[in-house]
């Protein structure tokens, strides 16, 4: 007997049988796709132009096709919402749920309230070319956000609604320009149990802000081409979160201040947040000099007159009761860890939007 035969809440719906549905391309109006762009040559969604990603390092080139931070938003009164995702499943990881790696999750908001989780479109174990999944909703006119997978490649996304449903554009976020996060696997979302639980998605819901996730597992190293691309972006806030991927303190010292100066030169009044690694529990002696270096760069820039620069010590984000319960492996945050990251970053970010 399979577990889903015992507990129906664990059943994965891979073939939608709901009647009277219409299937719509998520790239067409009135849907709005945020956080990712479509690459016609590769026929998949990417987070930055692939031609630029290919110049950075092999990790960024590959992980650019992971759709962390991607979202589709719309309003509807449909009583059912389904998805059909055409995907290149890139294999499962021992420390990561399949829902976080390859799943989509759904959030609902009414009258401008903070979006509330309404379920996960669960991926199918062993899928090769994607999956379909759907769920009933209450049919009240509401705004919906579907979060894309954190660590998988999406070629196409179709959304199913009832044929008689009204479909409208979602209201814009409060910030016209996105917050841009640059960094490591933690930035990318590893290892949230589902996409909506990475810290940027939590902050997006709580503050009603748009964002772009440029976290690349093991590959956020502030190379010149990456820095030039970051500096070219039109953004409302820049969050520098690549401490974890700098291979040594010496490397961090060589790259951190030049990254800051390039962003500041391109955006003289842009709010910049310098963030340090949060997962210091197992190796505090390794991360102490990194934190000290970044804090020294922060103080140096402040002494030079930068009034739009902010510092958040990552070692404080997990601190407190059950700090040792905030990761899946001593490094990557679980949902508790990401919640605490969002909680610690929110007071700073909220006053900058």
Mean pLDDT, residues 310-326 = 94
Mean pLDDT, residues 37-45 = 97
pLDDT class of 8 with cuts at 50, 70, 90: low
Q: Does 141 lie in the same domain as 197? A: no
Query: In the prediction, which pLDDT does 347 show?
Result: 98
Q: Does 72 lie in the same domain as 185? A: no
Q: What total of structural domains would you count in the chain?
A: 2
Q: How far apart are CA 95 and CA 243, in angstroms?
A: 22
For residue 190, give every residue at least 6 positions away whose Cβ sits within 8 Å of its Cβ, in sequence order, or none: 96, 100, 150, 151, 217, 332
Residue 13 has pLDDT above 50, yes or no: no
Question: What pTM did the predictor assign?
Answer: 0.95
- The model's pLDDT over 338-348, given as tens digits with 9 standing for 90+, comes to 999 999 999 99
Q: Does 93 lie in the same domain as 23? A: yes
Q: Does 149 lie in the same domain as 92? A: yes
Mean pLDDT, residues 50-55 = 98
Residue 213 has pLDDT above 70, yes or no: yes
Helix or strand or coil: residue 61? helix
pLDDT class of 261 with cuts at 50, 70, 90: very high
Q: What is the CATH number of the domain that holds 99?
A: 2.60.120.260
Query: In the prediction, which pLDDT does 231 show?
Result: 98
Mean pLDDT, residues 248-274 = 98
Residue 305 has pLDDT above 60, yes or no: yes
Percent of the chain with pLDDT over 70: 95
- The model's pLDDT over 267-301, given as tens digits with 9 standing for 90+, comes to 999 999 999 999 877 888 889 999 999 999 999 99
Cis peptide before 30 (omega within 30 of 0): yes
Nearest one of 146, 153, 185 to 39, comparing CA atoms: 153
Q: Is residue 174 part of a domain?
A: no
Q: Does 147 lie in the same domain as 84? A: yes
Q: Does 208 lie in the same domain as 94? A: no
Q: What is the CATH number of the domain that holds 228?
A: 3.40.50.1110
Query: What separation in angstroms does the CA of 58 have from each of 66, 82, 221?
Result: 14, 35, 12
DSSP 8-state class, residue 68:
T
Q: Does 242 lie in the same domain as 102? A: no
Helix or strand or coil: residue 116? strand
Q: Does 276 lie in the same domain as 128? A: no
Residue 80 has pLDDT above 60, yes or no: yes
With beta carbons less than 8 A apart as the criterion, state whether 242 and 222 touch.
yes
With beta carbons less than 8 A apart as the criterion, state whether 189 and 151 touch.
yes
pLDDT class of 128 with cuts at 50, 70, 90: confident
For residue 295, give its domain range. 179-350
């Amino acid at each position: 007997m399979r577990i889903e035969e015992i507990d129906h809440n664990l059943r994965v719906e891979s073939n939608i049988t709901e009647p009277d549905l219409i299937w719509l391309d998520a790239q067409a109006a009135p849907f709005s796709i945020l956080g990712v762009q479509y690459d016609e040559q590769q026929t998949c969604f990417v987070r930055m132009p692939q031609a630029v990603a290919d110049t950075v390092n092999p990790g960024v080139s590959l992980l650019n096709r992971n759709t962390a931070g991607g979202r589709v938003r719309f309003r509807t009164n449909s009583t059912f919402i389904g998805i059909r995702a055409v995907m290149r499943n890139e294999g499962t990881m021992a420390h990561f749920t399949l829902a976080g790696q390859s799943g989509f999750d759904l959030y609902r908001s009414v009258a401008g309230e903070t979006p509330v989780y309404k379920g996960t479109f669960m991926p199918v174990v062993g899928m090769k070319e994607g999956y379909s999944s759907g769920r009933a909703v209450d049919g009240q006119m509401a705004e919906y956000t579907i979060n894309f997978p954190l660590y998988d490649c999406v070629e196409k996304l179709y959304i199913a609604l009832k044929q008689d449903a009204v479909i409208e554009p979602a209201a814009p976020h409060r910030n016209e320009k996105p917050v841009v996060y640059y960094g490591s696997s933690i930035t990318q979302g590893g290892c949230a149990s589902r996409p909506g639980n990475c810290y940027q998605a939590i902050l997006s819901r709580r503050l009603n802000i748009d964002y772009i996730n440029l976290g690349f597992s093991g590959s956020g190293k502030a190379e010149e081409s990456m820095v030039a691309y970051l500096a070219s972006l039109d953004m409302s806030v820049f969050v520098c979160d690549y401490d974890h991927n700098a291979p040594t303190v010496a490397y961090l010292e060589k790259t951190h201040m030049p990254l800051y100066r390039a962003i500041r030169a391109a955006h003289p009044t842009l709010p910049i947040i310098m963030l340090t690694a949060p997962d210091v529990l197992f190796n505090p002696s390794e991360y102490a000099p990194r934190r000290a270096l970044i804090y020294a760069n922060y103080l140096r820039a402040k002494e030079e007159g930068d009034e739009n620069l902010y510092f958040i010590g990552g070692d404080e984000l997990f601190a407190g009761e059950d700090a040792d319960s905030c990761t899946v492996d001593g490094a990557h945050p679980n949902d508790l860890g990401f919640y605490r990251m969002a909680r610690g970053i929110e007071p700073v970010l909220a006053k900058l939007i």
